[in-house]
Structure 1
């Protein structure tokens, strides 16, 4: 790519950044929060512990960082605080309460206090009973969407926070801040890892 094209690309990325400053600042602000003194903006301490436990189970640390390593729980709290209206926030609280009520009914305690095997059973049941996001074309849902429910929505937000984090974008996914030339006809094996940009 020549310099002129690189500058054009950089300019268009700057325009995107200006168009969505709230979302970009939301993503950026999570990486600066310290784990030990994190004060949730929206969630209560019990609700924050619940969200942290679920995202840690969905995206645990393996050879790659886990959800808690890239502060997905802090990201979710900020999404609830800054992007949800009062009605949606109240619904989140009710859904967390309902989720824990089901845990108490089935296993005798709230989710964070269950054993790991019980938590896995709870998540498997939630996975089985959740609706699926409809397929989409270019960001638009195709067909009539079905309600996905709280668990699937939380999981989707966790994945969003995880894959848009700087750590995952730069060090796990393939990353090239100024992509090279366009090669329209290459074999899939040459593409390699998924790209973060």
Structure 2
């Protein structure tokens, strides 16, 4: 056998050995498989995927972390598991099921299985049709509160989970664990950002 051919084949074999696993993992990663990397305490996997998909659409990753980056879905799961009574938990499960059923009727799939364009259409419709929170003064609602639907309550919980997370509180919002004196009428341009405390 010619030495030159042997070296060529050895090089090709070595290259194929290195490239094949990488190519295989790349092809596997192209599958649009929806799965969780955590075990829900309250939600079923399907419900948790729905909640995670809503959070990802409402609080996507940009130059700042997204809602899923700060684990808002896990926070909501723990809140529901540990603070909702049985009736509230059952009501939430029914609302998630109705939400997914509407998505199946309109688009033929659960919310978490939809493409981004269809998810956006669903949430835009929900934004228009779901009840809104009435304004409040010092935690007291002013006027009559219309019923708040599933989408609006999930959006509210997602924003609450996001803004109270450690990463957002310390790295995105202004944070000073030992603040100075209180100044009530200071322009935002002087302080630079909303404070997390």
Please name the residue that 1:180 is paired with: 180
- 1:114 Cα deviation from its structure 2 partner: 1.2
Please name the residue that 1:126 is paired with: 126
Cα distance in 1, alignment partners of residues 187 and 37 from structure 2? 48
SS of residue in 2 equivalent to 1:90? helix
Please name the residue that 1:155 is paired with: 155
In the TM superposition, 1:34-183 aligns within 5 A as 37-183=37-183
Larger Cα-atom Rg: 2
- Aligned Cα root-mean-square deviation (Å): 1.5
Report how many residues are paired: 163
Cα distance in 2, alignment partners of residues 99 and 184 from structure 1? 43
Please name the residue that 2:16 is paired with: none
Unmatched segments (≥5 aa) in structure 1:
1-34
- Report if aligned partners of 2:36, 2:49 keep a CA contact under 8 Å in 1: no
Unmatched segments (≥5 aa) in structure 2:
1-34
Question: TM-score scaled to structure 1, two decimals?
Answer: 0.79
- Report if aligned partners of 2:36, 2:45 keep a CA contact under 8 Å in 1: no
SS of residue in 1 equivalent to 2:41? coil
- Give per-residue Cα distances to partners, 1:143-162, cap 9 Å, x unaligned: 11111111100100000000
- Give per-residue Cα distances to partners, 1:63-111, cap 9 Å, x unaligned: 1000011000000111110111101101111111100111111111111
- Give per-residue Cα distances to partners, 1:102-156, cap 9 Å, x unaligned: 1111111111111111110001111111111011111111111111111100100
- Tell me which moved more, 179-188 or 150-159: 179-188
Cα distance in 1, alignment partners of residues 77 and 177 from structure 2? 28
The change in CA–CA distance for 1:94 and 1:138 in structure 2 (over 3 A counts) is same
